Amino acid sequence: MQVFISNIVYKFISLIVSVAMLFGYSGECLKADSTEWNTNYKYVFVHGLSGWGSYDAAYKVMPYWGMFGGDLMKYLNDKGFECYAASVAPNLSAWDRACELYAQLTGNVVDYGKAHSEECGHERYGTDYTGRALIDSFSREDKINLLGHSFGGATVRLFASIMEKGAEAEIAATSAEELSDFFKGGKGDWIYSVTALAAPHNGTTAYMVDKEDMPETGNAFGELTNEIQYKLSSMIKTATGVTDETRSEKDYASYDMYIDNALELNSTILTLKDTYYFSFPCNATEQREDGTYAPVEEKMESLFIASSKAMGAYTGETKGGYAVDESWQMNDGLVNTLSATAPFGAPSKDFDINSIEKGIWNIMPVYDGDHMSLQGGLLKPNYVRDFYVEHLSMINSL
């Protein structure tokens, strides 16, 4: 989305937000009961594709976390949680985003790694966050909780894994004095919990369906609507696709989002044995008489309706031979609900408040909303304050 905001649209959104703040949500919200807390580590929120964080000017106009409902970070901080919104590359790979996150958390220059940057055809070093770290301390004693929305889920999973096991290729390619501390590993216990929100752990069929997969409506108005929705949906792919011919196509989020590539990425990511894991899948579709799934348009943002329709009817096989069956059809408009449950092959179980274990994905009940609902929604506002107060309070009470 950020990719498409022109100066005129930017000012228009500023006006809309100002009006929304005046007439928006003002109801009673859940109170945080700190008497039940055993910890209160910092919370770092990582946005998804085409997103933005507190380092970006767009956040002041439209907070990614909270949207029209107001800045969620400010609200949660007022409730006693210490929360921060990271800013990572809108369309680059989980690797690049993880490296940027580490630099922001530690107040250093982004180091994408000697081996990685040479393989992928871009500069090794990026933005310098010296003197402007996102948080004031990050260590074994001062742990953090990570929350990632959408592709932010892959980002925080990979980040946690590198913190624990390091990066063998970077260690082999880099002299000891030049090697980033991030790639040395041994710091997995700096992370208390990881929460994935509508995250495509196992990829998404949104990148596999084409215009021809759109179901026919039987009338001209419906077909025109499909055409408009499809173009809106296609904008998402464009925003996350290849934009630099010198950079390897493997170094983009669009590559990591394909099912075969997501499963390959999963095979390299550890689930840390001393970290709590939570995953919230979303769904804004309903099953039709023929067994396929269609978007509930009252719940689904317009820009996701086209992809949701196609995903809800899609079955097929990936280039790598993975069979996509009917279990993939339920979706939130951009991510298949099944994919958002937990990484395939990782230890997981349905959430049980009486049995929350470390080192295993606790799959939370499916959230009734589309892909943007846990951000706060856009044209379909969703006031998520109570949701986050409840979830963060639960983590603090572990």
Q: What is the pLDDT of residues 253-266, one digit of tens each?
A: 989 999 999 999 99
Is residue 120 scored above 60 in pLDDT?
A: yes
C-beta neighbour count of 191 within 10 angstroms: 24
For residue 208, what pLDDT is reported?
A: 76
Confidence of residue 246 (pLDDT cuts 50, 70, 90): confident
Q: Give the pLDDT score at 223.
A: 43
Other beta carbons within 10 Å of 385:
19
- Domains parsed from the chain with CATH numbers: 33-396 (3.40.50.1820)
**Which stretches of the chain are DSSP H helices?**
7-23, 58-61, 72-78, 94-106, 114-120, 151-165, 168-173, 220-239, 253-257, 259-266, 302-313, 385-396
Pairing of strands 125-128, 144-149: unpaired
Tell me the average pLDDT across 116-121.
Answer: 97
Residues in the chain: 398
Give the CB-side neighbour count of residue 335, counting CA atoms within 13 A: 36
Average pLDDT over residues 52-68: 95
The model's pLDDT over 122-135, given as tens digits with 9 standing for 90+, comes to 999 999 999 999 99
Task: State the pLDDT at residue 34.
Answer: 82
**The tokens of 316 are what?**
């097929």
Nearest Cα neighbor of 253 from 85, 147, 97, 65 is 97
| Local confidence band at 398 (pLDDT 50, 70, 90 cut-offs) | very high
CA distance 194 to 337: 19
Closest CA to 383 of 71, 62, 81: 71
| Separation of CA 385 from chain center | 18
In this structure, are residues 139 and 189 in contact, taking their beta carbons and an 8 Å threshold?
no
